[in-house]
Amino acid sequence: MEITIIVDDILSLGGSQSFAFNLSNYLTSNAYKVKLISLKKINSEVKIEKCEIISLNLKSNFFLIFHQEKINKLTKNSDIILNLSGQTFMYFSLLEFNNKFIFRESNQPLDRLNSMNFVKRLISRYLYTNFLKKNPNLIVQNPIASEQLKALSKNNLINHNVFFNPCFHKPSEKKQIKSNDLIFASRPTYPKGFDRFIKLLEISSNNFLYLGSYPESLKSFKNVTCLGRVNNVLEILSKSKILLLLSRYEGFPNIFHEAIIKGCKIILSRELSWILDEIPEAKNSIYLVSADDPLEIENKINTILSETYLHRQEINLKNYMETFSLPNYWEKLKNVI
């Protein structure tokens, strides 16, 4: 069996890239033929034994629509195409695949199909419907997106299979970590809810710790400390009380898994409420909020912090990882393909 895995890039080995890397290693070690395609750039240091790694060097995913022939040629002999690149459904919608196509789609169909912009809504409906007609063998990661696309496709079969494969960072440096209350860890982008975090900083009386690349927009705030990109995430979370996950879309929220393992409470945007059904262990640790309302988030923070006894229940790492292990994931996936 030949499997093609598509990722956005292979540079930082973030959530989806780490998953693609680990899955490719696992499949090649089990005698599968694997091709790993990076839509953008690759890290020359990333090497996978017996795996062909290809870079399309696209400046933007938009240019996918001009590479139909090349992509079809690269995937021609693949039995399964596993696309782990986020926000590319619209561009792949113009392509036709004769293979099993597995798509990492977030809850973005809901946004696009229900857009207040009539033209955007019309174009989105056309592109999604067109893709579903051409590619009925579709498996979608997100249950919300899966139900939305099922309604749109009418008779087409769409399976739902969540891609969770926690890839925890191992500490490579020893630093003294102080106890802290609130963590926001993410890229400073709109899908990750960074604008929501900024609005919270503007009205909050609490102090925050920010993990991620240091954006200029945070320098004017006195109530946030930026640590930048760190390798000791688990250690920091072990001394923290609350993780803020305010994303609009998530595919591979590794920080979520890390917080659950370390017993942190998690303030979660309602767009990600589907995670509760996929990870039962997390239900007692999660507080859902309307993340566009900074006052609601602030009130929830203060309510949690005001509890006289903040129960902290760490989960056994080995058992938790086994639940989301690659063998378990692959068996689950094979059952729906």
Q: How big is the CA angle at 95 (ends 89 and 99), to the nearest 5 degrees?
A: 95
Name residue 221's amino acid. Answer: F
Which range among 2-16, 46-60, 66-80, 286-300 shows the weakest confidence by mean pLDDT?
2-16
Higher pLDDT: 160 or 4? It is 4
Higher pLDDT residue, 153 or 235? Answer: 235
For 173, counting Cβ atoms within 10 Å of its Cβ (0-12 exposed, 13-18 middle, 19+ buried), the class is: exposed
Q: Is residue 198 very low, low, confident or very high in pLDDT (cuts 50, 70, 90)? A: very high
Q: Is the pLDDT of residue 294 over 70?
A: yes
Mean pLDDT of 207-224: 87
- Tell me the one-letter amino acid at 49: E
Distance CA 96, CA 158 (A): 16
In this predicted structure, the answer to whether residue 89 has a pLDDT above a threshold of 70 is no
Instruction: Phi first, then psi: give them for residue 15, nearest 5 degrees.
Output: -55, -60
Q: What is the pLDDT of residue 171?
A: 47
The Cα-based distances of 87 to 60, 84, 97, 128 in angstroms read 11, 10, 18, 13
Going by C-alpha positions, the residue among 63, 171, 218, 213 that lies closest to residue 71 is 63
Q: What is the pLDDT of residue 311?
A: 65
Q: Is the pLDDT of residue 251 over 50?
A: yes
What is the distance between the alpha carbons of residues 143 and 106, in angstroms, rounded to a whole number? 9
Residue 184: phi and psi, rounded to 5, are: -125, 120
Q: At residue 146, does pLDDT exceed 70?
A: yes
Residue type, 304: I
pLDDT the model gives residue 71: 80
Give the Cα separation of 288 and 300 in Å (integer): 9
Average the pLDDT over each of 76-90, 115-129, 208-222, 279-293 and give the range with the smallest value. 76-90
Q: Which of 71-85, 249-263, 284-298, 323-337 has the highest mean pLDDT?
A: 284-298
User: What pLDDT is stored for residue 172 in this prediction?
Assistant: 46
One-letter amino acid at 263 equals G
Q: Which two tokens stand for residue 57?
A: 């060097």
Q: What pLDDT is stored for residue 202 in this prediction?
A: 95
Q: Mean pLDDT over all residues of the chain? A: 77
